Amino acid sequence: MQSSDADWRALPLSALGEFALIARLTRDLETRPDVVLSAGDDAALLDPGASSDTLLVATCDAQVEGRHFLRDIATPEEIGHKALAVNLSDIAAMGAEPLWALVSLMLPPELDVDVLDGVYAGMRALARRYDVAIVGGNVAATAGPLTLDVTLLGRVARNYALTRGGGRPGDALLVTGALGAAAAGLLAFVPPAMASARVSPDILALVRRALVAPEPRVAEGRALAAVDVVTALLDVSDGLVADLGHLCDASGVGAVVKADLVPIAPETVAVCSASGRDALELALAGGEDYELLCAVRPEGIERALDAVRAVGGVASPIGYLTDATRGISLQKRDGTTLPLPRAGWDHLRTALRSPDSDAGAG
């Protein structure tokens, strides 16, 4: 690998891209016998020892002003909410119970104290709802943008933990909630924000909320882990196709997504209509949905749907897994299929902007 490495050396990170960089940084990482699952899934699984029947779950995710949030779109409370929510989503994606958070703040010294008070209020309100204790953190000054880096720890019964890697050909694909609303929020609120003038305030409020304050599917994740029919689970943060690609890579399978089964909220359709955009494209590639995507043994579909329903959630079958050789394809209503590019959200290449710019980047 050394010779191909040399080709990268003069390159800036932006040319490498997020996923290639992560692969590079996590290649051949040292491990320990108590590391059950290391980098490469939504969270790590760690064995606390003493023949514990639960595993520790650990994840971290950062929100950077100008990249992940804009203060003229999100309130301080929403910024704090989202900083924790994205981590709750990763814990949910392991089927785990969130427990403890550490909050690391990179702060511009000129930031008003009341902004930070609001951020903390929003984060603490969400923490309370999930019985998460903020147990530590750090403050550092920065000459750069306001940045919140949250580490979230949780636990999961050893035999319940779900990864991206257990899917098999023939398994059904289920997704919670609806997709594309956060991407519609970008369309409506991030300049040039073409759609906002032509959409009702109620619609705008819904897609803005999806963008700035997503609701993590913690109860749904735990419910899916508790039924014995789910084979793989992850959250949809990079976009359905990109995250389905992660599931397929980890499971060694391909997938077919049925276009007319992909759940899209009415508000997403409304914003897309007003912008001349394809709502299905946003649902497939938009990113930041923070819904859960799982593979389910075919005979267990009803049990999985019931489990999500029992905690007040909603899930939809959207397709199935295939042999790896078939890749990932979209089956249109007329029965024809087309291969799906691995479009998605690349944090090193994209800032807050219209989400379609990434299409085909993968």
Query: What residues from 141 to 200 belong to the interface with a second copy (CB under 8 A)?
Result: 141-145, 147, 149, 151, 153, 155
Q: Can the peptide bond before residue 214 be classed as cis, meaning omega within 30 degrees of 0? A: no
| Closer residue to a second copy, CB minimum distance, 206 or 233 | 233
Contact of 289 with 214, CB cutoff 8 Å: yes
| Closer residue to a second copy, CB minimum distance, 324 or 348 | 348
| Closer residue to a second copy, CB minimum distance, 59 or 322 | 59
Order of strands across the sheet with 35-37? Answer: 35-37, 44-46, 54-64, 147-157, 97-107, 133-141
| Closer residue to a second copy, CB minimum distance, 49 or 339 | 49
Judged by CB under 8 A, the stretch of 129-137, 170-178, 188-196, 285-293 that binds a second copy is 129-137
> Which amino acid does the sequence have at 86?
V
Binding of a second copy at residue 237 (CB under 8 A)?
Answer: no
Binding of a second copy at residue 75 (CB under 8 A)?
Answer: no
One-letter-per-residue 3-state SS of 195-234: CHHHCCHHHHHHHHHHHHCCCCCHHHHHHHHHCCCEEEEE
Cα(232)–Cα(99) distance, integer angstroms: 22
| Closer residue to a second copy, CB minimum distance, 14 or 273 | 14
Residues 8-47 that bind a second copy (CB under 8 A): 8-14, 16, 18, 21-22, 24-26, 29-32, 34-35, 38-39, 43-44, 46
| Closer residue to a second copy, CB minimum distance, 57 or 282 | 57
Judged by CB under 8 A, the stretch of 99-107, 254-262, 282-290, 354-362 that binds a second copy is 99-107
Least distance to a second copy from the beta carbon of 104, Å? 5
Binding of a second copy at residue 67 (CB under 8 A)?
Answer: yes
| Residue of 72, 110, 202, 299 interacting with a second copy (CB under 8 A) | 110
Structure tokens at 71: 């203060």
| Residue of 23, 48, 198, 252 interacting with a second copy (CB under 8 A) | 48
Cα(238)–Cα(219) distance, integer angstroms: 21
| Closer residue to a second copy, CB minimum distance, 340 or 352 | 352
Least distance to a second copy from the beta carbon of 198, Å? 31
| Residue of 158, 297, 303, 347 interacting with a second copy (CB under 8 A) | 347
CB count, 10 Å around CB of 109? Answer: 7
Least distance to a second copy from the beta carbon of 99, Å? 7
| Residue of 58, 204, 293, 294 interacting with a second copy (CB under 8 A) | 58
Binding of a second copy at residue 109 (CB under 8 A)?
Answer: yes
| Closer residue to a second copy, CB minimum distance, 99 or 314 | 99
> Which amino acid does the sequence have at 129?
R
Judged by CB under 8 A, the stretch of 114-122, 222-230, 281-289, 305-313 that binds a second copy is 114-122
- For residue 334, the SS3 value is coil
Binding of a second copy at residue 1 (CB under 8 A)?
Answer: no
- Could you tell me which residues come within 8 angstroms of residue 273 by beta carbon, excluding any fewer than 6 positions away? 279
Binding of a second copy at residue 259 (CB under 8 A)?
Answer: no
Of the candidates 291, 288, 170, 287, the residue with the CA atom closest to the CA atom of residue 231? 170
Question: Locate tokens 């953190």: which residue?
Answer: 137
Least distance to a second copy from the beta carbon of 214, Å? 17
Question: Locate tokens 């059904």: which residue?
Answer: 172
| Residue of 50, 192, 333, 335 interacting with a second copy (CB under 8 A) | 50
Least distance to a second copy from the beta carbon of 204, Å? 27
H-run or E-run covering 90: helix 76-92
Of the candidates 212, 210, 217, the residue with the CA atom closest to the CA atom of residue 312? 217
Measured CA to CA in angstroms, residue 46 lies from 31, 38, 72, 155 at distances of 11, 8, 39, 9
Contact of 157 with 48, CB cutoff 8 Å: no
Residues paired with residue 150 on neighbouring β-strands, in sequence order: 61, 103
